[in-house]
Amino acid sequence: MDSIDLDVLKSCEAWLAAGRRCQLVTVTKTWGSSPRPVGATLAICEDGSVAGSVSGGCIEDDLIARVRGHGIAARLPEILSYGISADEAHRFGLPCGGTIELVLETLTPDSRIGELLARLQAGELVERRLALASGAVSLARAAAGAVQRIEPEHGGVLATIHGPRWRLFIIGAGPLSRFLAQVAGGMDYRVTVCDPREEYRSGWNLAGVELVHAMPDDLVIEARLDPRSAVVALTHDPKLDDLALMEALKSDAFYVGAIGSRLNNERRRERLRLFDLGEAQLARLHAPIGIYIGSRTPAEIAISIMAEMTAVKNGVPARLLVPHAAAPQAASTASCLLPVPGTAACAT
């Protein structure tokens, strides 16, 4: 599964290879509320076919109408703004006061889309620089903290960042790991699965996901986790999960989670305290992992985990979430579920 923006680039490459003209549209600025963030992309083929999105649909409709009515004739990049007036905001489906600025770039073989995709396939984080005055394109390795921007020098340069800006390290190669890796891959994560157990690795064949057999703590140390990294321990084996967590909780990773029941995770915390982890570090552990959505199957649990990771990444306050650790559950196998609101008692 590809992220939306990677799918846009692949569509552009396919159209160029077929000898068709196409444009790459990039959101460069927004004011007020806007449907899509800075960096969102859209590809438009000369026949009106599209990939990606820069709005809720109305701006896409206008851009498609421009192409169908006038073709793709421009050779130099063009800057367009939508939503400046109240009428435009209403027409293009923008929230009240919303404005969006786009750069339209007519692609050619000199646009280096194929080279960009090859470098992304190799796992590189790439900065693509488009000279707005000439349309010239250059590629370079991007710094870890690089962001999209327009530099005013030399008539303006649009610098866009492409590649796996987020990393996810999954400990364990079981069925849940497979679903989680697939979802994360579609959300612009570079996914690495670590499992030293040969019996679990032998059936793994998920394209685009790196599978390693190192010990989990060695992997986490070598990865040099940064604020764009997440670690999820899914083996149910303390000998493997705890090793990874021990190092991850000392790192700058934005998210560290572990599967298991509340009781097992309380025992896990006690074990981790023996490794001289402080209370502040232990408080960073999301365990039981995920937010409460009533999940039961591996696919549903993967969604629950990814939802919690996304909320943490986006800075959603914890008070707005119901973590799985706080979800209602049966007190024991001999007791009933929690009462349903409005009933006198629960059934056995």
Q: Who contacts 185 (Cβ-Cβ below 8 Å, separation ≥6)?
A: 1, 2, 3, 191, 208, 209
User: Peptide bond preceding 339: is omega within 30 degrees of 0, i.e. cis?
Assistant: no
Bridge partner residues of 5 (DSSP): none
pLDDT digit string, tens, across residues 107-117: 999 999 999 99
Torsion of Cα atoms, 256 then 260 then 262 then 268, to 10°: -70
pLDDT of residue 345: 34
Say what angle helices 4-17 and 113-121 make with each other, to 10 degrees.
130
Pairing mode of beta strands 99-106, 22-31: antiparallel
Q: How many residues does the chain have?
A: 348
Whole-number Cα distances in Å, 90 to 29, 53, 59, 94: 19, 18, 11, 6
CA distance linking residue 130 with residue 237, whole number of Å: 49
Residue in 146, 139, 102, 104 with CA at minimum distance from that of residue 122 = 139
User: For the purposes of burial, counting CB atoms within 10 Å of the CB of 262, is it exposed (0-12), middle (13-18) or buried (19 or more)?
Assistant: middle
pLDDT of residue 275: 86
Residue in 207, 175, 160 with CA at minimum distance from that of residue 2 = 207
CA distance linking residue 257 with residue 290, whole number of Å: 8
φ, ψ (nearest 5 deg) of residue 182: -65, -45
Extents of the domains making up the chain: 4-162, 166-314
Whole-number Cα distances in Å, 149 to 38, 68, 119, 152: 9, 30, 21, 10
pLDDT of residue 195: 94
- 180 close to 306: Cβ distance less than 8 angstroms: yes
pLDDT of residue 130: 97
Token code pair at residue 229 = 């990294």
User: For the purposes of burial, counting CB atoms within 10 Å of the CB of 229, is it exposed (0-12), middle (13-18) or buried (19 or more)?
Assistant: buried
Question: What are the pLDDT tens digits along the chain (348 aa)?
Answer: 456 788 899 999 999 999 999 999 999 998 766 667 889 999 999 999 999 998 867 889 899 999 999 899 878 999 999 875 666 666 666 655 578 899 999 999 999 999 999 998 887 889 999 999 999 999 999 987 788 999 998 889 999 999 877 899 999 999 999 999 999 988 888 899 999 998 888 878 888 899 999 999 999 999 999 888 999 999 999 999 999 999 999 999 999 999 999 999 999 999 999 988 999 999 999 999 999 999 889 999 999 999 999 999 989 998 888 888 777 764 433 333 333 333 333 332
- 16 close to 51: Cβ distance less than 8 angstroms: no
What is the CATH code of the structural domain delimited by 166-314? 3.40.50.720
For residue 7, how far is the Cα from the chain centroid? Answer: 14
CA distance linking residue 213 with residue 198, whole number of Å: 8
